[in-house]
Amino acid sequence: MAFIDFLAFQEALLLFAAVIIGYVGVATFLAMRRNDTAGVKSALKSGAIPLGSIGAVATVLSIWAEEAWPLPGSYNILFTDIYLLFGLTLVVLAVSMATSMKLQYAGIFALVAGGVTISYGWNGYILHMTKDPLETFLLYGAFGLAGILAFPATIITDHYLTHPTSSVFASSSATAVAHRRPSIQGASRAVQPIVPGGSSGTPEETESVRTSFHLPIYISTTLLIFVVAMALAGIAAMWYLDVTLPAHLTSAP
């Protein structure tokens, strides 16, 4: 197989994936705040096709690069090993989103892949395996951190979809409800005469316990941290693409 320098295109796919996952994360969070189960499911299913497409392309390209990389050394190991994990993670996540299966298993996959990605990035940095070791480490670190944070985010989403009225998401509040009582006020009071045309009772207020939906702070914080991590991953991908694009457009690595 002939080798084609599509590294810049691979970097662009990283950016697309970060933006789409971040957008799905925001849409899911907002739907959960409204206690909109249908909205959460719609956001997940709508994001499955673009993520699955990116994941399938990334998987094929990384396998191709593993086999066709023309240069000796470890560039194919450093780049395409991790890119293959990236593609597979997206495919697993997209299938889970499209079929309404539990997302936490895709989260476990992302958790392990994220740890491996950070390890590769750190070793590539200390061994100076690229011309841009710092940018490479920041890119790997950002996506690896996002993969790790995906695990708790998927667990929360699974729990909400399975138990949308769970006590984890509900709180009780006391509200005053007005109602009318008869004119007999109690055993200690005399019976009041009934006046023709008058009111048969007086309005009084009693407490009524009402259950309302809310997202606890720790759940909101966990989801928002994941979204922020994806935003940082997108920024790192954009920066890396801007740094490496001129060289990859003019010559193969």
Cβ atoms of 233 and 18 within 8 Å: the answer is yes
Tokens, residue 64:
């191709």
pLDDT attached to residue 45: 96
pLDDT attached to residue 174: 46
CATH no. for residue 49? 1.25.40.600
Cα–Cα dist 137/121, whole Å: 5
- Confirm whether 187 is domain-assigned: no
- Confirm whether 29 is domain-assigned: yes
Nearest to 237 by CA among 135, 84, 146: 135
pLDDT attached to residue 211: 52
- The model scores a pTM over 0.85: no
The total number of residues written for the chain in this structure: 253
Task: Give the contacts of 17 (CB within 8 A, at least 6 positions apart).
Answer: 51, 54, 55, 58, 86, 90
Domain that holds residue 16: 8-163+214-250
Tokens, residue 180:
């009318």
- Confirm whether 180 is domain-assigned: no
Tokens, residue 27:
């849409």
Looking at residue 211, the DSSP 8-state letter turns out to be: E
Cα–Cα dist 190/184, whole Å: 8
The number of folded domains in the chain is 1
Cα–Cα dist 125/117, whole Å: 12
pLDDT attached to residue 138: 94
Q: Would you call 182 exposed, middle or buried from its count of C-beta atoms within 10 A (0-12, 13-18, 19+)?
A: exposed
- Confirm whether 170 is domain-assigned: no
- Confirm whether 222 is domain-assigned: yes
Residue carrying the six token digits 């009402």 = 210
Cα–Cα dist 178/159, whole Å: 37
- Confirm whether 209 is domain-assigned: no
pLDDT attached to residue 70: 65
Q: How far is CA 61 from the centre of its chain?
A: 25
Nearest to 227 by CA among 51, 44, 22: 22
State the virtual CA torsion across 191, 193, 194, 197 in degrees, nearest 10. Answer: -140
- Confirm whether 14 is domain-assigned: yes
pLDDT attached to residue 66: 81
Q: What is the H or E stretch that residue 55 is in?
A: helix 37-68
List the chain pLDDT tens, one digit each, 253 residues. Answer: 455 667 788 889 999 999 999 999 999 999 998 888 999 999 999 999 999 999 999 999 988 888 877 666 567 788 889 999 999 999 999 999 999 999 999 999 999 999 999 999 999 999 888 888 898 999 999 999 999 999 999 999 999 998 866 656 655 444 455 555 555 454 444 445 555 555 555 555 555 555 566 778 988 999 999 999 999 999 999 999 888 777 777 765 5
- Confirm whether 94 is domain-assigned: yes
Cβ atoms of 234 and 193 within 8 Å: the answer is no
